[in-house]
Amino acid sequence: MKKRYWISAIVLVGIGLAGFSRLNKGEQITEVTVGKTERGDITSTVTATGKVYPEIEVTISSEVAGEIVELGVKDGQTVEKGDVLVSVNPDRLEAQVLQQEAALRANKSNASEAKARMLQTELDLKRLNNLFEKGFATQEQVDEGETNLEISQASYQATLSRIEQQEMQLKEANDSLAKATTFAPISGTITSLSSELGDRVVGTGQFEGTEIMRVADLSQMEIRVDVSESDIVQVKIGDPATIEIEALPDQEFKGEVTEIANSATGGNNSSDQLTTFQVKVRLIEPSAQIRPGMTATADIKTKTVTDVLKIPLQAVTVRSKDEVAKQLGETDDASEKPKDEQAENESGDRSDRGGPPGNGSSTRRKDSLERVVFVYKDDGTVELVRVKTGLADNRSIEIQSGLDEDQQIVTGGYRVLTRELENGKAVKIAEDKKNDKSKKPAQ
């Protein structure tokens, strides 16, 4: 009797050990992290990097060629509109003025002589007419006197025309001489000084001209950033922006989009992979520490929705419509598809979930995919739920339909969400690693 009892006990223990061994060798329950649906605001942003520039910057060049004989400013100096910036030695222009003045005096002298001759011929003609009436002069003499008068009048008028022309040439010479001195066109700061005293410069009269300096209004600054073609359609004039200057890492500045380029600034050649558009963002309250050329990043706020249902961005994943329908038990058509088609779908699914792309997977149509979320249920399983999404930012995404407020949803990990989870699968919530660390004894 005792022997039979011990045999039964040994059998029961063996069965228990075998079951425990099989349990240890079985599949472990998947660990997941969870979050909750909640209501809040979402702001969509476009981030781009660029450089700081003054909104108004004027390049200063001399209108005449010559040697710089006066340079009364330094780099970084503040100037007022009308201040003398640079003077170019106008040797040739001064000579031209003297030459025109001399020619004008000569023409005026010639005009005086021509006028005197004209007056004398008028007197001569008058005397001949009196003699002709008395019979002491012939008609031929009178006609000759009239001809001489016409010639003297024409000569006088020609000298007057030459005087007028010479006065215009003298005015042009004086204007050119005046252009030898360049004045500040705006009030601002010298941001670049390219020439020095004694340098010879080319004028802008016939050529491009030598850049001598630049004057900028540093009270109005802007960030010029390059926005990709996929994001530029979201950006609008007047969009607010948050700006960070690399040299001032602890400060943020407010900005506003003021200009959007209509033409692309990159990708014109086949070798260029990125096509961008320049966007100008004005600094609303620029700091005196900000200087032209500094590197800046602009977060342009393109759209905001308020009091919407939202979840963490990583909680949303995509699955093929066939797979979603199969997991929800809505159809069994997928099991009847030819093997080649199933292989193609599986290859596409791997690509959609972040895995390596298969042949032809890049051409899958977007309408063959659905956005889904896994809801954590009280019984420890997950439920696959179709969702309609809206606006998204860097952390959250708007849920327009499919979920309710205060539902627990699976937020990670990435591989679990994209490849492992299925409708009805048992999971457990991962322990908070931070709490685990806090429980470690201090050393």
DSSP string, 114-170: HHHHHHHHHHHHHHHHHHHHHTSS-HHHHHHHHHHHHHHHHHHHHHHHHHHHHHHHH
Alpha-carbon distance of 222 to 218, in angstroms, equals: 10
As a whole number, the mean pLDDT across the chain is 82
**Can you give the pLDDT at residue 231?**
94
Measure the CA–CA gap between 194 and 222, rounded to whole angstroms: 23
**Confidence check: pLDDT of 18 > 70:** no
| Token code pair at residue 205 | 């009269």
Give tens-digit pLDDT for 66-96.
888 889 899 999 999 999 999 888 777 778 8
**Residues paired with residue 53 on neighbouring β-strands, in sequence order:** 222
Q: Which pLDDT belongs to residue 349?
A: 44
- In the predicted model, is pLDDT for residue 334 greater than 90? no
Reference 275, options 222, 233, 244, 223; nearest CA is: 233
* Range 325-352 average pLDDT: 56
Of 213-222, 268-277, 406-415, least confident by mean pLDDT is 268-277
Q: What pTM was estimated for this model as a whole? A: 0.64
Q: What is the pLDDT of residue 269?
A: 56
The mean pLDDT of 414-419, rounded to a whole number, is: 90
For 37-46, 202-211, 221-230, which range has the lowest pLDDT when averaged over its residues?
202-211
Q: Are 369 and 319 in contact (CB under 8 A)?
A: yes
- What confidence score (pLDDT) does residue 441 get? 44
> In this predicted model, what pLDDT tens digit does every residue of 185-217 receive, in sequence order?
999 999 999 999 888 888 886 677 889 999 999
Query: Rounded mean pLDDT of 412-437?
Result: 80
Element (H, E) at 296: strand 295-312
Lowest mean pLDDT among 35-44, 224-233, 336-345, 365-374: 336-345
At 177 the pLDDT is 79
The stretch 1-19 carries a mean pLDDT of 44
* CATH number for region 46-54+219-266+274-304: 2.40.30.170
The strand ranges marked E within 165-294 are 181-183, 188-193, 200-201, 211-216, 221-228, 240-245, 248-260, 276-283
> Are the CB atoms for 365 and 352 separated by under 8 Å?
no
Least confident of 24-33, 115-124, 236-245: 24-33
Higher pLDDT: 239 or 434? It is 239
> What are the residue ranges spanned by the domains of the chain?
46-54+219-266+274-304, 90-177
- Positive or negative torsion for Cα 232, 236, 238, 242: negative
